[in-house]
A and B are shown apart, each in its own frame.
Chain A
């Protein structure tokens, strides 16, 4: 089983739709979690950290479910500019124990 798994997509959604991605992780000792966004042929950029209590940043909401070992990202009112690949990142503790998922591609359609 991969350490971090994501549905590669693509998720094709109309503008204004709500879309959610999940990311599962295998190591129950994982301590911190992040979502990154990567545009085509660009570098990954930090979108948001994922806290135990969940967190929200505008149209984006991240949740952590430790019991089932997954994190989620919810995007409301999708914009064309949200089209990108979303990478899930899991840290097992320490700078060297970071694992990136392979990403979920989102395409928002006019």
Chain B
């Protein structure tokens, strides 16, 4: 059974703080993803990684960066948190084929 874990379920941060969200998968998947989900907008891809130290921008990368130093771990960094980054953040992983994605439980981030 695929397991994807995220470091926090709920997080409250202040504007301007640097925020780290961590994701770990135990299925040796090559691909990992960070999404945010907002009401009415669905899932939007922030960044993805297809190998260690490799990363590519998704649809909304502004204000975010990522790090993948080990295959099983993919971190999302908010360099300077802003209130419009209040959202549900979901991490996912997938193998190379057939690209079925498996999600972590999500982190609900509130920036005040």
Name the one of B43, B50, B90 contacting A96, with C-beta atoms under 8 angstroms.
Answer: B50
| CB < 8 Å neighbour of B94 from A42, A95, A100, A101 | A95
Let me know if B96 and A95 touch, CB within 8 A: yes
Q: Which residues of A contact B42 (CB under 8 A)?
A: 87, 100-103
Chain B interface size, under 10 / 10 to 19 / 20 to 34 / 35 or more: 20 to 34
B99 to A100, Cβ gap below 8 A?
Answer: no
| A44, B103: Cβ atoms closer than 8 Å | yes
Q: Is the CB of A95 within 8 A of B48?
A: yes
Query: B104 contacts A43, CB within 8 Å?
Result: yes
A41 to B108, CA, bound (A): 9
B61 on the A face (CB < 8 A): no
Task: State in angstroms the CA–CA spacing of A103 and B56 once bound together.
Answer: 26
* A42 in complex: contacting residue of B30, B40, B45, B106, CB < 8 Å: B106
Q: Which of A34, A46, A96, A98 contacts B56 (CB 8 A)?
A: A96
Task: Tell yes or no: B64 within 8 A of A by CB.
Answer: no
Q: Is the CB of B43 within 8 A of A46?
A: no
Cβ of A44 and Cβ of B43 under 8 Å apart?
A: yes
Closest to A89 in B: B101
Could you tell me if A95 and B43 are in contact, using CB atoms closer than 8 angstroms? Answer: no
Q: Using Cβ atoms and an 8 Å threshold, which residues of chain B touch A34?
A: 100
Interface string of A4-48 (1 = CB under 8 A from B): 000000000000000000000000000010100000011111100
Q: Decide if A91 is an interface residue (CB 8 Å cutoff).
A: yes
Task: Contacts A43-B90, A91-B99, A95-B48 known; list 13 others, CB within 8 Å.
Answer: A32-B99, A34-B100, A43-B106, A45-B103, A46-B101, A49-B100, A95-B31, A95-B94, A96-B48, A98-B45, A98-B99, A98-B101, A102-B41
The 6 closest A-B pairs by CB, nearest first: A102-B42, A43-B103, A100-B43, A95-B31, A43-B106, A91-B99
Which residues of A does B touch, CB under 8 Å?
32, 34, 41-46, 49, 87, 89, 91, 94-96, 98, 100-103
